[in-house]
Structure 1
């Protein structure tokens, strides 16, 4: 096409030269020059037109390429969002939850079948009473447990505290089957005038004496912080279970001091777990619950003692930073139906789904450990495991001094 255009330009230039020579009486040189100038002007105009067209086509191509790149970028962003969404999906946990639900459903079906078979057998022939590892279909509510009264009077306890005869020992909570320490209970003990040691059941006030309780728990918190700091500095951080009661949570000065201590020791707050009885935990009022929530926000956890029933909302307890529930080992083994409607071997796994652990306390013999292992328990504590003992600098429990099994009022 361009060759044809240049041919026409050459013919037009020749025509202009001939017209100038013949029509305008130009000399041959002038006519040739006019023809050349005309041809050059036409060629320049033609090249300019072609260049503009090429530049326009190039701009349109660049615009099309930019639109394609923008579309690809949007597609890449959408793909990245989908990949991130897939990466955030924790399929393992969801599958574990589904498997646990299926396991619980299978257990319930098995329980129903066994209950029907048991009813049919009882209709035909009565069975002798005995321990059944299957949970009863209609469990009885737990009977209230009366705590024994302390044998040491409150005034004697006040005098002992003023003389700084209160000491703290530790008792390990171990994992099964390795029996490695998972944490330590901070156990208050009282040094008597004769040199013997009195356990907490012998002197802790049951009714009244809230100021004494606050003093004992305050000393325990200071002792726990010192132990945790020393353990962290030695490169072996530990968990300590610290006694706590409503006497401290309900007192403004004690609760403020408690929160201030946790705030000043946020580094070790994860290792501080406050042990409170089931009765007091579920009877906290609004103000005391607010203090407990503030403690949880600062990193501290809770362990509920003397749990009589596991028919509770475990997820709600986990949201309140409850990390463990303690049940009496002998009672759970002898009467599991008093704790839960689940099969005894399934309750530990069900509770652990909410990251709450079951701790069996009061282990007295090896047979209890074997049965608890069959039921899925991994944390135990008791005199058969280890007795309370003093803390050495390397955090090893020393053998405790002999303690008389029971104190008489005449000896106090």
Structure 2
């Protein structure tokens, strides 16, 4: 209001003065009042014309400025078109950022591997330091005035040492006899010092030697990789609602778990290839389950190194697009550390997969879950080992109420899955915590997938076709009367 009055104060003042002056003038002198009103109208018209002229001049100035800006924009676009290397430079900078992220992930993994090797070397040094060192034991020679008494050692008895030439010494009887008089005692000949065998260290059973890395790599490149499925059941009904795809490597006659061959694959840079092959087979299994009419999903735990591989998530998006009918049937599980350290590119790629596949959090480091943030990222499941839920003995988990964890996650739309349930006595405790899903050897051990399921083409494993209607059958009239009665 004040700004309006400030801009139009003169007009308002002029209008007030005119009203005050023209009112009485019109009453007493009508002709003079009419002339004054005409003069005022002429002055208003002149003021409006001047204002319109000023606005037209400003519009012309603005038009010229916009024309100059458009010319400069056209000149900039022409320069950009004449220098296409600028676009290539932008793409190279983007690729360089991706490679820097990949190298940082590799450096972190190398740091972890070196730390593990240092811990192993320190453990071996401590074991060597604790090993007993054989110490030579010397048996003191018996005094010449007393009867020699055999020494007792923990080593195996050594063969008797022959006495020097002289009268043979009769062995002492088992029963005690009266000692002969002092004059009749004859000093025994001195016995030479006999070397005693050292006490050997306790034998440690040899540990089975791990297979050489070349054999593991050869088995991985061949047909040694197998897919095993472990069911996820509901509590307390124990109904199978999902499966987890687990990688196993068959090298010769041994079937190796991931902890036995995954470090070797990480050192040789084969973890991304492992994830690609496992995801393809998991998609095949999910398609087979859908063809059988099952609603069960298939979960696979992705390696954190694959997230830093350029183009891996784009390849997975193409795989999901090619596999029709897998919406919600394939679940991608990432470690808790990966969910906490996603960069912008990885978060964008995972956001593009929402609605096509499900997401889960596994391999947790603690129980501090942000349900709202996880639900915003599309996480629908959180997998926690049963020991961490039932026996949280770590000091960093003392302030966490485990009994409220399921409720807090369910409020955000996330289901908690108890993993590694190995004892039947843990099942009632999990039910008391309101855990609805569980997985472990108590319910079922991982079993291999049949080769014919993995080898089935997409056409054979597609959705089931509706059954053909049966042709009408003629029934006797007697059976109709029997049903009617």
Coarse TM-score class (shorter-chain normalised): 0.5 to 0.7
Q: In 1, Cα distance between the equivalents of 2:217 and 2:320?
A: 27
Question: Cα–Cα, structure 1 residues 340 and 281, in superposed 2: closer, same or farther, change >3 Å?
Answer: farther
Partner secondary structure for residue 327 of structure 2:
helix
How do 1:5-404 and structure 2 match up within 5 A? 154-194=213-253, 196-205=254-263, 208-209=266-267, 211-296=269-354, 298-335=355-392, 338-339=396-397, 341=399, 343-392=401-450
Q: In 2, Cα distance between the equivalents of 1:147 and 1:306?
A: 18
Question: Cα–Cα, structure 1 residues 285 and 205, in superposed 2: closer, same or farther, change >3 Å?
Answer: farther
Partners of 1:301 and 1:323 within 8 A in 2 = yes
Partners of 2:304 and 2:335 within 8 A in 1 = no
Which deviates more, 223-232 or 251-260? Answer: 251-260
TM-score, normalised relative to structure 2 = 0.47
Question: Cα–Cα, structure 1 residues 179 and 249, in superposed 2: closer, same or farther, change >3 Å?
Answer: same
Unaligned runs of 5+ in 2: 1-111, 121-208, 454-485
Partners of 2:371 and 2:408 within 8 A in 1 = no
Q: In 2, Cα distance between the equivalents of 1:320 and 1:147?
A: 32
Structure (1/2) with the larger helix percentage = 1
CA deviation after TM superposition for structure 1 residue 164, in Å = 1.9
CA deviation after TM superposition for structure 1 residue 247, in Å = 2.5
Please identify the structure whose Cα radius of gyration is greater.
2
Q: In 2, Cα distance between the equivalents of 1:210 and 1:351?
A: 38
CA deviation after TM superposition for structure 1 residue 265, in Å = 2.4
Question: Cα–Cα, structure 1 residues 165 and 290, in superposed 2: closer, same or farther, change >3 Å?
Answer: same
Q: In 1, Cα distance between the equivalents of 2:312 and 2:403?
A: 41
Partners of 2:216 and 2:251 within 8 A in 1 = no
Deviations 1:336-381 (A, max 9, x none): 7754745332221121111111111111111111111111111111
Relative contact order (C-alpha < 8 Å, sep 6+): which is higher?
Answer: 1
Structure 1 runs, 4 residues or longer, greater than 3 Å off: 146-156, 206-211, 336-343, 392-395
Partners of 1:158 and 1:212 within 8 A in 2 = no
Question: Cα–Cα, structure 1 residues 264 and 375, in superposed 2: closer, same or farther, change >3 Å?
Answer: same
Question: Cα–Cα, structure 1 residues 386 and 394, in superposed 2: closer, same or farther, change >3 Å?
Answer: farther
Partners of 1:308 and 1:327 within 8 A in 2 = no
Partner secondary structure for residue 284 of structure 1:
coil
CA deviation after TM superposition for structure 1 residue 392, in Å = 4.6
Q: In 1, Cα distance between the equivalents of 2:346 and 2:264?
A: 19
TM-score, normalised relative to structure 1 = 0.55
CA deviation after TM superposition for structure 1 residue 252, in Å = 2.3
Partners of 1:210 and 1:247 within 8 A in 2 = no
Q: In 2, Cα distance between the equivalents of 1:223 and 1:295?
A: 19
Q: In 1, Cα distance between the equivalents of 2:418 and 2:116?
A: 19
Partner residue in 1 for 2:129: none
Q: Superposition RMSD on alpha carbons, in Å? A: 2.9
Unaligned runs of 5+ in 1: 1-143, 396-412
Deviations 1:113-164 (A, max 9, x none): xxxxxxxxxxxxxxxxxxxxxxxxxxxxxxx9x9999955554332112212
Q: In 2, Cα distance between the equivalents of 1:207 and 1:340?
A: 37
Q: In 2, Cα distance between the equivalents of 1:233 and 1:380?
A: 25
CA deviation after TM superposition for structure 1 residue 211, in Å = 3.5
Question: Cα–Cα, structure 1 residues 165 and 206, in superposed 2: closer, same or farther, change >3 Å?
Answer: closer
Partner secondary structure for residue 228 of structure 2:
strand
The size of the alignment, in residue pairs, is: 249
Partner secondary structure for residue 211 of structure 1:
coil
